[in-house]
Chains A and B, each alone.
Chain A
Amino acid sequence: MDLRFGDSKPTDEERDAVDALLGPPESAWEGADDRSDADLRWARGGRAARERRDLLLPGLHALNDRVGWISEGGLGYLCRRLTVPPAEAYGVATFYSLFSLKPRARTVVRVCTDLACAVRGAVPSAERGGAVEGVTVEDSPCLGLCERAPAVLTMRAGGPAGLSPTPPLPETGGSAPGPPNRRSAPRPQSPDRLEPSRTGTFSARPAFEDEAAGRSAADRPTATGHLPLGSRAEPPPAQAVPQAKAPGLILLRRIGVVDPSSLDDYRAHGGYTALRRAFALGPAAVIREVTDAGLLGRGGAAFPTGRKWQATAAQPDHPHYLVCNADESEPGTFKDRVLMEGDPYALVESMTIAAYAVGAKHGYLYLRGEYPRALRTLEHAIGQARARGLLGDDILGQGFAFDIEIRRGAGAYICGEETALFNSIEGYRGEPRSKPPFPVEKGLFGKPTAENNVETLVNVLPILTMGAAAYAAIGTPKSTGPKLFCVSGAVARPGLYELPFGATLGDLLGLAGTPDNLRAILLGGAAGGFVRPDELDIPLTFEGTREAGTTLGSGVVLAIDDSVPLPRLLLRVAEFFRDESCGQCVPCRVGTVRQEEALHRIADRTGAAAAADIALLRDVGQAMRDASICGLGQTAWNAVESAIDRLGAYE
């Protein structure tokens, strides 16, 4: 490859942001200002230069976090540093909605207009009006703050004020786990600080914070243009858990009980007993326990976790990778955020166990870009665990080496799809790959990879501490264990609930406080389906919802009352899929657009006036379901179909 770079130069700020991530350039070939004599004789190229492609996304974050947008000069400098063709980097940068390739204000307010917030009165910018000086306001898909809906996320770009960038780490000779020619594992973080110190993880620290508007009318981002810009303390994670500190909780038992920043507190509450048990059992027995426990993936697809681990562990190709999918973006889902913010060490411990089981030395935690607090909490937790020998070369003196690297997403629902997530980590556009081959065979960097959702991983802890049999006794024979439900919308006590599998929808809504004027319940998020208020006896299990012709998905339970017209919510679902389609395959790229157009046409129509467009929707929907590459396109018509067939929308 013979790269051609334009004439645009980076500003000092941009150069500084990239250098803070990658260290200073080694030569003029990599963008240093002064050409030395050595540069004339020697240039790094070929494989060694190109193998850092996976740092492209962290590099884009570094620029965006510092300046607020990505300029030609900044992008060009990053490309030079990483030997990435500028056209490809531009293609990657334009893929993500958190990045801007045009100048914008340093403060960006992202207003959630998605389902849970719409039910609670959020309005899209077109209807909002009013501008605030020095602030760019953007509509956003679900921010995962549904229990506090309506929500906004404020992101402030800026330098690490007063903090000097981390000095570059010395190059290691390939002893570090993970892709070769990589800087050594991030250095230990100073303990007990949650301040924005620059940690050694590759994600540049964002100088942003998130704030959710309260529920009083004055706080709502309404037509007045008022936006809550004042810095306000975010409520503690436990506030998202109405059951916090209740006896009998398994997954949520530490939330609101332990200090999320304290490893000692975690250990005092049963932390790291599961890892010790895992070491006592050995990897094969850990997989057997997880298989016997009947654990099914909680990210939406309900694939048996034990089988996935077994298939990964059995692959002769090495290295194996572990990837934690924390790119929780399904509208109405916030369970992983609460787990990560309230009990971060549980995820660190369970990732360590999973890595031990599948034989991975390097784990990636792909975290949703819109979760700054979870990022802070996890960075701190990982640093602590590393400092205490719970991550690193010799975990608990057992000779097992494992470390976790956090990668931030940048605003793309599709990156929650497992293979799109691999492409995103690798520095490519987050487009799903076609399967087969499956990730257990060829996953991240083309190597065998076990990818699990946060909630799935956290379930491994009780499996090991209670034993598979005791765990499997919880729930139903086909859906074992406890399950988290994200209850939002028109309920008295929205939040994250834990119930054993088998509880009915009515049980759950009873806990959360159902309104009298309940119109429908959306199960599983935008990719899920609506059910009627007279179907509250549906058992909340994988098999029970399937028999009822709906889905559990990722555990979204969104209650909808009659305050918001149903067609408007359906339009929002259609808009969501149109915005989030990656554009790779025709059925999804054009189908989601045609779906939205048809729903626009029939927004105010019913009966015969809507019949032709409903037939059209069915045709398009069937093709999207049958012929799309990935789950996004395949499920993009689910919610609309269920609203038509089950709720009788447009009748």
Chain B
Amino acid sequence: MTAIPLQPPRRLVEFTLDGEPVRVPEGGTVLDACRAAGKDVPTLCEGDTLKPKNACRVCVVEVEGARTLAPACSRRAEPGMEVRTDTERTRHSRRLVLELLASSVDLSTTPRAAAWLKEYEAKPDRFGPDAARLNEEPRVDNELYVRDYDKCILCYKCVDACGEQWQNSFAISVVGRGFDARIAVEHDAPLTDSACVYCGNCVEVCPTGALSFKSEFDMRAAGTWDEAAQTETTTVCAYCGVGCNLTLHVQDNEIVKVTSPHDSPVTHGNLCIKGRFGYQHVQNRD
């Protein structure tokens, strides 16, 4: 459905992945090779529309000759390198990263988190009942989206999407340091006192549900959110002539959320406030 722009052919880089020779286009990452080879490497901070930040370290792999593990999402494939994805060391670090996250952050709305915790036999409870958690309350300061930083793994994706990589609004930043670091606007003010333009492109990239549509947040609170019962319809935004693709998430004949296909050559997953949040007129039957 989406037009794929043609690019000049790229040379292939050949290296060894878990003992098997693999080839990825030059400039590709180890993660690209893993995915092409059908290997399931967990990722959290990696985003298909963003430059790798490699902050979460859940995708680490072992590169022959390296002292430490390397993040698959950002390590460029080099000819002849030997990479192992499923060694005791990689499993250990992935398990610990999952345990450390799950013991401090609410991962209940993170897709696949539960499956990964099970797969890596992670036991987040082992740090004891007194283990420090983020302990943040959801911030509901506008009508459009909610920031529930108790679910934030600090992947930097919202900051990158808001800043120079997409929206250029620079409304949010990581503030503070270490475990106390949080995403916030200047002086930790409400969103309504910030440079936010409510494009919702941060919501689009959030991997944990820390940022969500107000409609989704309210429905989850009411217990009526049911992803299985939702349909997704991709259409074209009717507001202006740019031609952005919208994917309407519909539950019980109501639009509950709007996203955009990440492979759309027009939007790359990004929308403006009208396309993202201005759907109420569709449902207004009066």
Contacts and interface: CB of A to CB of B under 8 A. Distances in A.
A630 to B, nearest CB: 10
B96 A616 contact: no
B89 to A, nearest CB: 6
A443 B153 CA distance: 28
B194 A581 contact: no
A90 B170 CA distance: 11
A597 B100 CA distance: 13
A88 B170 contact: yes
B186 A87 contact: yes
Interface string B68-108: 11010010100000000000010011001100110110000
B172 interface: yes
A75 B60 contact: no
A90 B127 contact: no
B239 interface: no
Interface stretch (B15-23, B33-41, B128-136): B128-136
Interface in A1-39: 1-4, 6
Interface in A205-249: none
Contacts of B177: 94-95, 97, 412, 579-583
Interface in A81-117: 85-91, 94-95, 97, 101
Interface string B181-193: 1001111010001
Interface string B174-213: 1111111100111101000111000000000000000000
A564 interface: no
A441 B63 CA distance: 21
B92 A587 contact: no
Given A579-B178, A586-B101, A590-B104, A623 B96 contact: yes
Contacts of A591: 96, 100
B256 to A, nearest CB: 29
Contacts of B76: 436
Contacts of B161: none
A586 B57 contact: yes
Given A1-B168, A580-B178, A626 B93 contact: yes
B178 A592 contact: yes
Given A87-B194, A585-B55, A1 B176 contact: no
A91 B182 CA distance: 9
A72 interface: yes
A318 interface: no
A629 interface: yes
B171 interface: yes
Looking at A89, A434, A594, A627, which has the most chain B CB atoms within 10 Å of its CB?
A: A627
Nearest to B127: A594
A620 interface: yes
A593 interface: yes
A623 B54 contact: no
A622 B100 contact: no
B248 interface: no
B126 interface: yes
A581 B100 CA distance: 15
A622 B91 CA distance: 12
Nearest to B97: A586
Contact of B173 (A91, A434, A627): A91
Given A87-B186, A587-B100, A627-B93, A581 B178 contact: yes
A581 B6 CA distance: 44
Task: Determine which residue in B154, B186, B189 has the highest number of CB atoms from chain A within 10 A of its CB, and name it.
Answer: B186
B170 A590 contact: no
A597 B130 CA distance: 9
B267 interface: no
B110 interface: no
B131 A90 contact: no
B266 to A, nearest CB: 22
B92 A429 contact: no
A597 B132 contact: yes
Given A412-B177, A597-B131, A627-B68, A590 B57 contact: no
Contacts of A579: 177-178
A80 interface: no
B169 interface: yes
Contacts of B156: 584
B55 A584 contact: yes
Contacts of A87: 170-173, 184-186, 194-195
A594 B179 CA distance: 11
A509 to B, nearest CB: 31
A601 B128 contact: yes
A423 to B, nearest CB: 12
B30 interface: no
A254 interface: no
Contacts of B170: 1, 3, 85, 87-88
B92 A622 contact: yes
Given A412-B177, A578-B179, A589-B154, A90 B186 contact: yes
Interface in A60-91: 72, 75, 85-91
B146 interface: no
B70 to A, nearest CB: 9
A94 B176 contact: yes
A419 interface: no
A386 interface: no
A628 interface: yes
A614 B192 CA distance: 47
B190 to A, nearest CB: 12
Interface in B37-72: 54-58, 60, 68-69, 71
Contacts of A587: 57, 93, 96-97, 100
A89 B186 contact: yes
Contacts of B93: 587, 622-623, 626-627
B60 A95 contact: no
Given A75-B186, A597-B127, A620-B96, A626 B175 contact: no
A619 interface: yes
17 contacts: A1-B168, A6-B189, A86-B186, A87-B170, A87-B184, A90-B175, A90-B187, A91-B184, A94-B177, A95-B177, A578-B178, A589-B154, A589-B178, A616-B126, A626-B68, A626-B93, A634-B68
Given A579-B178, A590-B103, A591-B96, 20 more contacts: A2-B169, A4-B171, A85-B171, A87-B170, A87-B186, A90-B184, A91-B175, A101-B187, A429-B174, A581-B179, A583-B177, A585-B56, A586-B153, A587-B97, A590-B101, A590-B104, A593-B104, A626-B60, A626-B69, A627-B60
Interface of A: 1-4, 6, 72, 75, 85-91, 94-95, 97, 101, 412, 429, 434, 436, 578-587, 589-594, 597, 601, 616, 619-620, 622-623, 625-629, 634
Interface of B: 54-58, 60, 68-69, 71, 74, 76, 89, 92-93, 96-97, 100-101, 103-104, 126-128, 130-132, 153-154, 156, 163, 168-181, 184-187, 189, 193-195
In order of increasing CB-CB distance, the 10 nearest A-B pairs are: A91-B173, A85-B170, A623-B96, A583-B181, A590-B100, A4-B195, A86-B186, A627-B93, A90-B186, A581-B178
